[in-house]
Chains A and B, each alone.
Chain A
Amino acid sequence: MKPVSEIRARTIVLPIDNVDTDQIIPARFLVTTSRDGLGELLFADWRFDHEGKPRGDFVLNRPQAAGARVLVAGRNFGCGSSREHAVWALQGFGIDAVVSTAFADIFRANALKNGLLPVQVDDATVAELFAAPGASVVIDVRAGTLVAGERRASFPLEPFARYCVLNGLDELSFLLSREAEIAAFEASAGPVPWRTS
């Protein structure tokens, strides 16, 4: 995971609420053992017609989408399936941050584990961004702020998640460093015995 402290980019706007992970990456494309190649399938059923041709009216197919790295979407973004492929598809396309008024829990957790920034801001900020597609925004991870023109909005970020994003650290390394505590928990009265075979 690469460290991220600031994102300066133009936006793509998708003013739709409840964008579920089946739209972000349809289930039939999950038959893969890799994280790569999913960017081409991002929003596949909205982006391409049934013959596989790009739909000119879909925002990702417009010329302005090229190089835009911040997706602004409606509330409850990433609801539905836990598939982390949704995050990999967004990143594969070149998205570094998603701005919304609310994120689904599992999507939010998956995003942070890959350095994709979930930027949760107020209604007025999202409405303003919807009204100005392609706006340039600056997202400051350390300060937890999004600035677009005159507007400045703050977004919540767990201290630990902020630390991981800023330093490009993954949680697995941290968990592995807690091995002694995990072993002590197991050795104590701790968990009930289990067997699966």
Chain B
Amino acid sequence: MQDRPRTLTGKIWDAHLVSAETDDKPAVLYVDLHLVHEVTSPQAFAELRERKLRVRRTDRTVATMDHSIPTRLAPNGRRALAVGAAGEQVAALEKNCKDFGVPLYAVGDERQGIVHVIGPELGLTQPGSTIVCGDSHTSTHGAFGALAFGIGTSEVGHVLATQSLLQRRPKTFAVEFSGRLAPGVTAKDLILGLIARIGTAGATGHALEYRGSAIRALSMDERMTVCNMSIEAGARAGMVAPDETTYSYLADRPFAPKGAEWDAALARWKALPSDAGAAFDRELHLDAEEIQPMITWGTNPGMGIPVRGVVPDPRGDAGLEKALHYMGLEPGKPLLGRRIDVVFIGSCTNSRLTDLREAANVLRGRRVAAGVRALVVPGSQHVKRQAEAEGLDRVFREAGAEWREPGCSMCLGMNDDRLEPGQYAVSTSNRNFEGRQGPRSRTFLASPVTAAVAAVRGVIADARELLS
């Protein structure tokens, strides 16, 4: 068994088996790191209380607040507090973490932020590990060569109580991007391009492994953007094998191993990449050079086109017709030049320092167009501090954009950051579902660069024109 070439997924899977799967029973898979937030955990903690169970490994569990908290400041200059039901949910997380001994990076803590931003930046996310969270975008952590996937609240309870999950081994799907991304084309365009090609169920049941020279050339922030949206192709996980880019990102992070432990970890991590000749259940080869800046026109992330493309003709497809109707678009027409109301730069997909720098490069010395509201929401307190140290907050403010406190914000509008009914947004988030950014909201997903250019122009535009 050990002699057969294995995939990255296979190696991590094998190393975490408490017991292997059989025809009758799924595997018991050990979880290295469990990330917890306020929205998908209260019912799980309630279950533990009801059954008189403890959190088995508080040293492998960490909680933060991100989904439902306000990102604006109150009149007193401090961060606004969650009120009503959201306030109760936040209070429940505080009580649950206190009662069960789970470390909590609450609002006010310098480590607070979007769960998928803080795990990596604190060095909690490490290659070769199994990471779960009650959130579908847990796939983000796969950028470090971890097997990371979203779970439901019942499974949150399972992990809290037993540090384990019942799982079937995922099938493997290698996607190789050869060549390099063209100038002005970003990691967001790469992943939107892939989802447009394989569809929102294109990788169901599979762990994606992104490979090839174009992936190797990406920074960790960019790899996280790619892995983050794996779930939008239906994948159970999305991964990139660790390399020097990964190791140099992790070195000296607060929770990364130190000294002799670092050396030992590095030796383990270097054995993780898929072996030559390892067999994947599916493979796809794409030329990165051919990827164009992408934007979505419809109501799922697979409905993407090159920003210079035209809205497709549904040709009787009821789903496409429904999406066109919801979006108020006509087939055969370009999106370029289309007026927009709001630009949202943020979310676990695109709220890291690299993303903010790219947006700031566009907005520096320019103004957000009249009638457009632009919201920039850093992914974490750490990102916010770094951005402010570089003066990015001033760039955004001077351009007329709002600079907010960290959280999920307008990605899903669980707080008061929402579009008005009928409004159009260019958003750097991950989902353009009907009503995702507020009732009757209409979302065009795109990269931070494309979003920032839309903010300046007030219409959808090709960033390469403005930047060339």
Q: Which residues of A does B touch, CB under 8 Å?
A: 15-18, 20, 22-23, 26-28, 30-35, 45, 50, 74-76, 79-85, 87, 102, 104-106, 109-110, 113-114, 158-160, 170-172, 174-176, 178-179, 181-182, 185-186, 190-192, 194-197
Contacts and interface: CB of A to CB of B under 8 A. Distances in A.
B310 interface: no
Nearest to A104: B234
Contacts, number: 200
Nearest to A196: B62
Interface size class of B (residues with CB under 8 A): 35 or more
B402 interface: no
A6 to B, nearest CB: 22
Given A31-B39, A182-B28, A196-B59, A76 B23 contact: no
B166 interface: yes
A112 to B, nearest CB: 9
A22 to B, nearest CB: 4
A190 B19 CA distance: 12
A33 B62 contact: no
Contacts of A182: 18, 28, 30, 162-164
B61 A109 contact: no
B60 interface: yes
B319 A185 contact: no
Given A82-B134, A113-B152, A105 B236 contact: yes
B74 interface: no
B26 A113 contact: no
A192 B464 CA distance: 46
A31 B86 contact: yes
Given A31-B39, A191-B16, A196-B103, A110 B152 contact: yes
Contacts of B302: 18
A160 B166 contact: yes
Given A172-B158, A196-B61, A178 B421 contact: no
A175 B166 contact: yes
25 contacts: A15-B318, A31-B88, A33-B43, A33-B46, A33-B88, A45-B439, A45-B440, A80-B431, A81-B412, A82-B40, A82-B134, A82-B135, A82-B136, A82-B150, A102-B204, A106-B151, A109-B152, A171-B154, A176-B161, A178-B18, A181-B28, A182-B163, A192-B265, A192-B268, A196-B59
